[in-house]
Amino acid sequence: MRGMLESPRTESGSLMQTQAKTAVGPLDRVKILFQASSPQFQKYTGSWFGVIKAMRDIWGADGVRGLFRGHSATLLRIFPYAGIKFLAYEQVRTIVISDPSKETPVRRFASGSIAGLISVFFTYPLEVIRVRMAFETKAHARSSFVDICKQIYHEHPPTIRTPKSIDTSSLSSAAATSISATSGAISRATPRSGLTNFFRGFTPTLWGMIPYAGGSFLAHDSAGDFMRHPRIAAYTTLPPSQQAANRDPTKPVPLRYWAELLTGGFAGFVSQTMSYPLEVVRRRMQVGGVVGDGHRLGMMEVANNIYRQTGVRGFFVGLTIGYVKVIPMVAVSFYVYERGKLALGI
């Protein structure tokens, strides 16, 4: 019965997130191009004038459709992602915080992090497809959703070869055979193509989801506690006459619309700031098949490259755009989430 009641709520949250993402679709694409260090747009990073120039170039090359490139994958992803995240949070929270008297910031953070990890596990391939579509900037390249999926599936890293410094002809037959066998084993053990390509950058995504989802729910719930403080509760919470008759009395008193939006916006600010460096790293890994020689760099290798090229600021390129996108999106999502619970009495 609980799961049935939660479905409309999570569906509403997904719908509002979809509308929010549509509104900031062009900014989202520019942010991805900046994060992934697209050679064509790298010169524009660092200012809002650069964002405007980047959007102008995209418009000139591909028109309106170019500004929303990759948005179809975003729409496909946001429904299951938002629904699973909010549903998982409610279920995980009842396990981690079974006793309300033992509710702590650590338990709140853990509940949000676990919910985020569950949601991203089921939707990550669509995230990779979305980024690859948004990263494609050539005027003549208009790969469809299906084309991008095929490209990702068939990509493979450079063939492993025996180092040139080793001349196997001068070695004994046994040594040469051993080297050949070892190279062959490594080649067979390393995934060359297939479904594993849809999980490029998955490790930094998991690490980034811990502070993103955990920080988001922790900040939202903590800010909600502040808004319900007895000294200001009369101004920030709904009066009894505006509360649903079937509201669960054990749940926190619902906030007024502006207070709920404010707590949600604060949650978006905190989560985006905490997780952004890892978001930049994962973007670089996700486009690894279309830049460089196709070599799959690990998370630490990508991070070291970013630091060598642009220093610490390289981990925060496009952060302002992220705020413009995430803060209102998270604010609206939490607002619908809480109002949905109020309407359903859960």
pLDDT tens-digit map of 55-86: 888 888 888 888 877 777 777 888 888 889 99
258: CB partners within 8 A, 6+ apart? none
Q: What is the predicted pLDDT for the residue at 295?
A: 57
Question: Residue 216 and residue 213: Cα distance in Å, rounded?
Answer: 5
Spatial contact of 280 and 33, defined as CB atoms under 8 Å apart:
no
**Lowest-pLDDT range, 122-131, 157-166, 225-234, 247-256?**
157-166
Task: For residue 338, list its beta bridge partners.
Answer: none
Question: Residue 155 and residue 134: Cα distance in Å, rounded?
Answer: 18
Q: What is the predicted pLDDT for the residue at 133?
A: 83
For the entire predicted model, the pTM comes to 0.72
Mean pLDDT of the region 256-261: 95
The helix/strand/coil state of 156 is: coil
Question: Residue 142 and residue 180: Cα distance in Å, rounded?
Answer: 42
Question: Residue 47 and residue 270: Cα distance in Å, rounded?
Answer: 22
* Sign of the CA dihedral with 198 first, then 202, 206, and 209 last: negative
| 197 vs 157, more confident | 197
Spatial contact of 231 and 301, defined as CB atoms under 8 Å apart:
no
* Domains present along the chain, CATH in parentheses: 2-159+193-344 (1.50.40.10)
Q: What is the predicted pLDDT for the residue at 26?
A: 79
Mean pLDDT of the region 165-184: 50
The per-residue pLDDT for range 91-100, each reduced to its tens digit, is: 999 999 988 8
The per-residue pLDDT for range 292-317, each reduced to its tens digit, is: 555 567 888 889 989 998 899 999 98
Residue 165, pLDDT above cutoff 50: no
**Lowest-pLDDT range, 21-25, 151-155, 242-246, 266-270?**
21-25
Question: Residue 151 and residue 110: Cα distance in Å, rounded?
Answer: 37
Task: For residue 237, list its beta bridge partners.
Answer: 255
Question: Residue 9 and residue 11: Cα distance in Å, rounded?
Answer: 5
